[in-house]
Structure 1
Amino acid sequence: MNPAIHASRFDGQVAVVTGSATGLGEAIAERFALEGANVACLDNNTIDNASTAALVTKHGGEALDIDCDVRLADSQNDAFNAVIERWGRIDVLVACAGIFVGGAITDIPMERWRDIEATNLTGVMVSNQLAAPHMMAQRSGSIINVASMAAKTSWPNSTEYSATKSGVIGITRSVAMDLGPYGVTVNALCPGNTLTDMVRKVSVEVGAELDMTGEEWLEMRANDTALKRLAAPWEMAGVVAFLASDDARYLTGQSIEVDGGLILS
C-alpha cells in the first residue's frame, strides 16, 4: 500500500465504490477507508466483497457490504437507497465495475456484446444517474468513472472493450457539464495495465494468441511504457483519491491517463 496516506482527508465522507470485490475497486475502497471515509462496497461477487468490507472496517471506516449487479438498474437503485438510508449522503462515487472480453470483429456474439455494454457502459451511466441528485442537493461531490487506456487507443480483438470504455469518457464529459453548476466534479480514470487478477487473466488469453506465456506478455507490455513496469492497484487508488479531494476542485470533465507513459500526449 502507498505509504503517502492523508489520514483525515475524507473524514466523515461517504464513498460508494462499484466493483469493489477485487482489483482496482478493492484498492480504491481501502484507500478511502485509510483516509477516513465510510465506504459502501457494491459488487455481486459476495465472498470477495465481504472481504473488502472487512478491510474497510479494519482501517477504521464504517462499511456497507452490498450485493449489487450493476447490469441491473433496480439492483443499483436498491444499493444507493441503502447508502442513503445508512448515511444520508454520498460524497464520492467511484464507478469501477467492469469486465474485459475480446475477439475479432467477425466473431462478436450479440449476447456477449450486450453483457459488456450492460456492465461497462450502462452500469456506469446508472451509477452516475443515481448519485447525481444527492450531490446536486448537497452542492458538492466527486464522481470518478473508471475507463481505460483502451478508451483512447485500441489493439486487435478489442472492439467491445474499447467501445464501452470510450463511452465511459463520453458519459464523464456530459455529466461534468450537467453537475458543474452544483459544484460537483466528474472525471474519468484511464488506467494502463495494472497487476490485477483481470489483467493476469487477459495476459494468458492474449499471450496464447501471440504464442507467448502470460508472464511474457506482461513483460512486453511493461517494456512498452516509459517507466518499464506495470502498475500496482494502490497507484490507481492514489490518483482516484486525488481526484476526489479538495486539491482537484477545479479539475472536471477530464480523462486522466495513468499508464506509466504508454500513451504520450
Structure 2
Amino acid sequence: SGGNDPIAYMGIHGVSDNVLNIGLGRGLRDRFVRNNGCTAQNAPEPRAGSRTHIITNYSGCRAGYPVVWAAFDGGHTPGPIDSGGDGWRTWTSGEAWKFITQFDGGPGPTTTTTPPPDPTTFRLRGEGSGRCLDVTGAGTANGTQLIIWDCHTNANQQFSQNGQALQVSGKCLDAPNNAGSGTRVQIWDCHGGANQNWNVTGTGTITSVQTGLCLTAGGTGNNSAVTVATCRGGTDQRWAKA
C-alpha cells in the first residue's frame, strides 16, 4: 500500500496495459506527487493509436524528490517504442538516463559513467520508396520543403537528433503551425516549439508532437513531396536510419 515517505519517482506506463491497468499506475504516481510535495496536475497522455509518448515533469517537488510520468500508447511492455531491428534507439533509455544522472554528486574517484552511444548523423530512408528524406535543392532557407530522393551522402540528407528535434542543414524539421493532414513539411530556424518536436517510434513512424500526424512520403519516385498525414501504418509512413 506504500507509505508517506518521499521517494524520487519515475513511472513509465502504457495507456492500454491489460496486466497493470493504467489506473494503478496513476494511483502510484499520485501517491508520490503528494509525498514529495509536488503540484498536482492532470498529466496528459497520448491518444490510442498515436504510437507516441508524453513525458510530464511535475513542478513544486521537494529538492531531490522529483516525479516524472511517462505515458505511452502501448500495453504492458515498452516494446512498441523499443528498437525493432530498424536502428531506432528507444526513448526510454535516454529518459531514464536523464532521470538517474540528475542525482550525480560529481565525478567519482574510481569510476566514470558514460551514456549509451548514439550515431552523430544519419539518413532517413523511406521503407516504401527506398529513397531518403531530402531538403529540396540542398536549400538552407527557412521554408525550404522536404522531398524524397536517391540516397547520397550530401549534407541535405544528413540528420541529427537533439532531444525530440530532427536537425538538418543547420535548421530543424518543421511542421508549419496549424498543419493538417497533407501539409508539406519544411526546415526552419530551430526554436524548440512543439511543431519542431517529433516522436520516433520503434515501428519506424515519425509523428509530430504538435499534431499527432505522421511524416509521410507522397510517392515513391524522386522529388515526391513529404507531408504530415493521418497515421495509418503504411510503408510510406515508415522510416529507418541509413
Q: Name the TM-score, length of structure 1 as normaliser.
A: 0.27
TM-score, normalized by length of structure 2? Answer: 0.29
Higher helix residue share:
1
